[in-house]
Each structure stands twice: as structure tokens, then as C-alpha cells.
Structure 1
Amino acid sequence: MKRKYILPLFLFFQIVFLKVLAFFPEFVEKWYSNGLYIYISKISRTILGKIPFSVGDLIYTVAIIYVFYWLIKNRKTGWKNITLSVLSFISVIYFAFHFLWAFNYYRVPLFEKMEINREYTDDDLLNFTEKLIDKTNEIHHKITKDKTKKVINPYSQNQIFEMTQNGFDRLAKQHSYFSYSNPSQKKSLLSLPLTYMGFGGYLNPFTNEAQVNDKLPMYGFPNVVCHEMAHQIGFGSESECNFIGFLAGISNEDLYFQYSAYSNALRYCIGTIAAKDEKLFKQLKQKVHPGIIENYKESEVFWKQYDTFIDKAFHAFYDQYLKSNQQEDGIDSYSKFIDLLINYYRIKGIL
């Protein structure tokens, strides 16, 4: 067999292997997520965590430029050779992607790990949302002392990166599998493109850096950091990372972290009710402090500035990406963490 066919064939075998691996989440959980991955991620974060800029973003930028250069340079090589070369490149990247992080998509679901039910009724949602409104109002008032004022986070983004560890340390005392060490959070060098794409952050699976969009409204910034850190400790599901990010936020001693987590969860819950019952949504909205609503409007205004066909195209692409990686709800997976919240609250009895 000619060498140029080896890597394209390897790509085919990788795809088949992943189809089979999906039936063995316990194997992935034991040997990869709680085994090999722990060492891979700690090594990556130890080496790159102290570098003040995003190494992953630089790698992506250089890679994209090189791909365009290579395609122009080899445009006359012939479609067969170009196709084989592209497939070989994809094969190597696909292997690195899964080996360094993405096998975590195939681990045991968090609701099984934590023995949390995923079902809830409309009454469960309403009851939880009302409790969440009370709690968010309480935190909001502790910060602002005024129902009408929006929360303005006083910390710098670098300070927030440092402060996030507190929440994970406290959370790990309750659930050891949420332990986080060797921090590596970065302000993305690609924040403007990320904003046009409609993303608040992402985990670079090759460098294990938590990349955060530095243009985001600051009241919600801590919650985004906690979400990306959840990806770093080996959770691929967006709903699970929203849930873990929420727990890390409310576990933090700082009120601004708590507010960021509670207000984000409340927005999802009220949004879910709005989609089902407009009248009930309006009733609940009246109970929310006007200052909290102002923070929501702040986010809406921010994202509306960058609302173009670009974010819709990337969201459609990302929707398919998630569906191909064990998240059948696609981009709607982000809101599915509500069932984890409601049933976790049912077990704990407190927010």
C-alpha cells in the first residue's frame, strides 16, 4: 500500500472506532477521563498556563494562514493528490483532537455519575424558578443596595481568572471529580471574531487553554470562565459545563461570582417558561429586580451590535458539531442544564 493512503485510511478507522466507543462510556470514564486525560491536561496547563497570552489562538491563526498558502501553492497538483493530502491532515488533527481532549465526549453522563434524575414537570420548573428569582434578587440587593441598579463588576478580567479557583476548590470538597488545578485561563486573541461568531469562549482542545471572549459584559464574565474551566477538567457536554459552571459560581465566596451564576441560570429558566407560557413569563418577570433586567438588556445590546449572518452560520455549524459529538440536542444543549439544576435542587433542598 502506498504511504499516501495510510493516513486517509486511518481517518476511516478512527470514525468507526468512535462509533463503537460510544457503547462503552464506563471504559472511557475509567481509563481516559479519570486516567490518561488527567495527566495530559495537567501537563498542558502546567506548561502553558503561565504564558500570559493565548498560545492556542496563535497556533490556530498560523495554521489557517498556512492552509491557505498550501492550497494556493499546490492548486495545480491535481485533485486526487490534494484530496489525499487534506484527508491526511484531517486524520492527524482528528486523532490529536480526541487523544488530547475529545474522548471526554464519550464518558459516563454527569446525571448518572451524580445520580440525578433528568425528568421534571412544569410545576417543578415553576417552583425552582421562583426560588431562583428570590435568590438572585437577594444577591443583587446585597451588591447594589438598590433594586433598580444593574450590577457592575469591579474586578479586572485577570482578577476574575485568579478568583475562579476559590469556587472550584470549595465545590471539590463536595464532589471530588470537580477538582481543578494548574490554572490556564486566557483572554482570547480572537475575541472580536468570537463575538461575531456569537461565542463567549471556548476550550482549545490541543493546548487545554480556557479561552474567554474579553469583550463580554463583565457581570456575566465569571460565569463564562467557570463554564470553560469545566471543559478543562474533562466534561464535553455543554449542558454539563453550564451546570458545573453554575455550581462553581455559587460555591465561590465572592458575591459577584454568585450573581453571575444565579442570573445566568435565571435567564435560562425564565426563557424556558416564556417559550411555553407567555402570560406566566410576564408574571414572573415582574418579580425580578429591575436592575437584573438591566443586566440582561446589557447583554442583549452587546450581542445585537454583532448580529450578522456570520453568527447564524457558525451556530448552524456548531449545532451539527455538537450533534456529531454525543449531544443530540445540538446547540440547544446549553439550555438542557435546567433539568440538572432542578433535580439537584430537589436533592439538596437549597440553592
Structure 2
Amino acid sequence: MKERLKDLARSRALYVLLAGGAAQGLFLLLRRDRASMDAAALLATGVRRAVSAVADPLPFSLAELLCTALGVWVLVMAVVTVRGQLQGRRVLARRLLGLAALAVWIWAGVSWLWGVHYYASSFSDKSGLAAEPVTTEALEATTLWFAEGANRTGRLVERDSSGRLAADSAAIMESASDSLAALTEEYPFLDGPARQPKPAVYSWFMSAAGFTGYIFPFTGESTLNMDCPNVFLPVTIAHEQAHQQGVAPEQEANFVGIAACLANADTLWQYSGWLFGFLHLSNALYSADPAAWWEVWQLLEEGPTADLAWNDEYWLSFESPASELAESTYTAFLESYGQDLGMASYGACVDLLVARYCPLEQAA
């Protein structure tokens, strides 16, 4: 009787595994069909919004709680399995089959709740704002314009004795429930229920892995790193809330985050957007024309310079084989959904910034 029950359990786990494989196979089959992905993205957004409505009132990240519970469960099952094997019970095959079934369904869930957005109509498609190659002249002019914006707003924010931004992270989080509201007139497809970002308990570990925030496909929550310098916390919140509205590619979410901050009435949020935009633009300008980069960089005032140095010092302290492994893993994740630039795609928002904000184009 026991053997029959074990066989039944194995067969059920096998069926679950095959069903998960079929769900993922269907995604792989349909992902190149734009109409199918647009429909799936609409459904996925609806599911995330429904679940996030339940998770939103919670003062903690449900995503972190679920991931922690999963990790604890895996460890407990590993101990139980080893003990069972040592006691002569053949449980390893059944447990591995069950674990494989769970892993496949998680993979399929991520694909259908989030991966579809990489193949559906993008921000550029919906907005008509094309990320096209730019001239060095346009890049320099836009970088200079962002430097001026960072200087102007940087003089208005509160600073500590070392000249760095003195802002309360909790207050920033409390003011962040609808960071995209100011953009919805220009980009109405970004409109949607405002969800409160959640502070990460595991912020230090996120820093070690090189992450400032993430969206969890199964709960629709954005969870933020509260350990890193908070000068870029506003723009990171807006970036993650862009993800909540279905803007999947990192370069587009970066652009939306910056644009949302520039349109915000709060000076601190504006400063975060100007400085983050300058960081991306100046890095691109350095590659295109180091001499022009140096001329623009010298115009940056002490406040913004101190904040950029603060940010650099913090992230340099986390450089390690572990952070490199995390970066390569996330790059592989992005590439598996057709994001060929991988982590480098974070810098591709430069083309959109120049297309939207270049003062030469505005003057023309």
C-alpha cells in the first residue's frame, strides 16, 4: 500500500512538472507574436494589480516574506530528505521531482506575469519617442542641460556637514505612492493604481548583489534597498513603479523614472532625476568625447559632486566575486527574455533622454 501511495505521489509530481513545462513551452512558442504578447501583458498587469491591492496595505514586503518562506522550506526539506535517506527510506527521487516541478512553475509564472512585457508593445512603441542614435553635439548639449538642472536643484536641498544630501528615506518612501502621476498626461498608458513601495529588510544583501530595487511578479510589489545612499531613492522608486505599469526594459524604466522626477513638484525628487540623468549622460559623453566630458564635469557644483562621490564610494565597497556573480546572473536573466544588452541596457536610456530633452531639439 505504501509503495502504491509513493508511486501515486511521484506520478502527480510528474504531471505537475509536465504541466509547468507545457506552460513555459507555450510562452516560448508565442513570445515572438506581438498580438499574443500584448494580450498576455494586459492580463498579467491585471493579475499583478489585483494581487498588489491585497499586498499594498501591508507595512512590509510580502515578496520578501514569500521568498524567505520558500528558502526556509527548501532548507527544511533538504534536512528531512537527508535524514530519510540515512534511515533507509527512498525519498530523494520524489523530493527532487517535486522540487523540479516547483522550479518549472516558478519559471513559467515569471514568464507569464513579467516576461511577456519584454515582447509586448514597449514604452517607445506607445509613446512614439524613438531611442535613435544621437550626435556627440546633441549628447553634450543634453548632458550640460542636466548638469545645470542638478546644480540648480542641488542648491535647494538640505545637506549635512560633509556636503552630502541630508534627506529622510522614510519620508521619501511615504511621499512615493504615485510617483508617475505627473507623467500620465503626456503618457496616459502609464496611468494605473498607485502602490506604495516597500522597504527591504534584506537591503544590505541587495547591495552586495548590486541591486537598488526590484519588482516581484507574483505580488506586483516594488521592494527598495534602504541601505544605499538615498540620493537616488526617488528615481529608483519611480523606476520600479514604471515596472509596475508594464515598462519592462531597464533602459525605458530608467527614462520613465528620470522623467517622472523632473515632472515632480518636490525639489528633492527633481534633484534625484536631474543627477541620475546626468550620471547616465556623462558616462556616455565620456565614451564619445572625453574632452567635452571634462568641460561639462567641471561645471558640476560641490553638492552634486559630493553626492556622486558618496554613491561611488558606497558601491565600490561592495565590489566582490559575489556581486560579479549576481550581475552575470541578472544579465543572463535579461538576455533570456531578448534583452541582448544585458546589464549594459541600463545605459541605453541616454538615447531617450536626448530625444526628449535635448535643448538643441527644443530650440529647433
Whole-Å Cα distance in 2 between the matches of residues 27 and 153 of structure 1?
47
Q: 2:70 aligns with which of 63, 66, 73?
A: 63
Contact kept, 8 Å, 2:179 with 2:241, in 1: the verdict is no
The secondary structure found in structure 1 opposite 2:16 is helix
Whole-Å Cα distance in 1 between the matches of residues 184 and 166 of structure 2?
25
Tell me the equivalent position of 2:14.
5
Worse-superposed segment, 51-60 or 91-100: 91-100
Residue 54 of structure 1, CA deviation: 1.4
Contact kept, 8 Å, 2:154 with 2:271, in 1: the verdict is yes
Tell me the equivalent position of 1:252.
264
Worse-superposed segment, 168-177 or 9-18: 9-18
Whole-Å Cα distance in 1 between the matches of residues 71 and 178 of structure 2?
37
Residue 122 of structure 1, CA deviation: 2.3
Contact kept, 8 Å, 1:11 with 1:87, in 2: the verdict is no
Q: Give the percent of matched residue pairs that are identical in Structure 1 and Structure 2.
A: 20
Contact kept, 8 Å, 2:142 with 2:354, in 1: the verdict is yes
Tell me the equivalent position of 2:32.
23
In the alignment, structure 2 segments of 5+ residues that lack a partner are 1-9
The secondary structure found in structure 2 opposite 1:318 is helix
Residue 328 of structure 1, CA deviation: 0.9
Residue 166 of structure 1, CA deviation: 5.3
Tell me the equivalent position of 2:135.
121
Tell me the equivalent position of 2:103.
90
Q: 2:40 aligns with which of 26, 29, 32?
A: 32
Residue 83 of structure 1, CA deviation: 4.1
Tell me the equivalent position of 1:47.
54
Residue 78 of structure 1, CA deviation: 6.8
Contact kept, 8 Å, 2:242 with 2:257, in 1: the verdict is yes
Give TM-score, length-normalised by structure 2.
0.87
Contact kept, 8 Å, 2:176 with 2:197, in 1: the verdict is no
Contact kept, 8 Å, 2:147 with 2:299, in 1: the verdict is yes
Residue 233 of structure 1, CA deviation: 1.4
Instruction: Confirm or deny that 1:318 pairs with 2:330.
Output: yes
1:1-351 to 2 correspondence within 5 Å? Answer: 2-29=11-38, 31-33=39-41, 35-75=42-82, 76=85, 77=90, 80-119=93-132, 120-143=134-157, 150=163, 152-154=165-167, 156-165=168-177, 167-345=179-357, 349=362
Q: 1:184 to 1:100 in 2, by over 3 A?
A: farther
Residue 283 of structure 1, CA deviation: 1.9
Whole-Å Cα distance in 1 between the matches of residues 227 and 192 of structure 2?
25
Highest Rg: 1 or 2?
2
- What is the number of residues matched between the two proteins? 345
Contact kept, 8 Å, 1:165 with 1:180, in 2: the verdict is no
Whole-Å Cα distance in 2 between the matches of residues 14 and 105 of structure 1?
17
Residue 278 of structure 1, CA deviation: 2.8
1:252-285, Cα deviation, whole Å (9 max, x unpaired): 1001001101101101111122234333322221
Q: 1:16 to 1:57 in 2, by over 3 A?
A: same
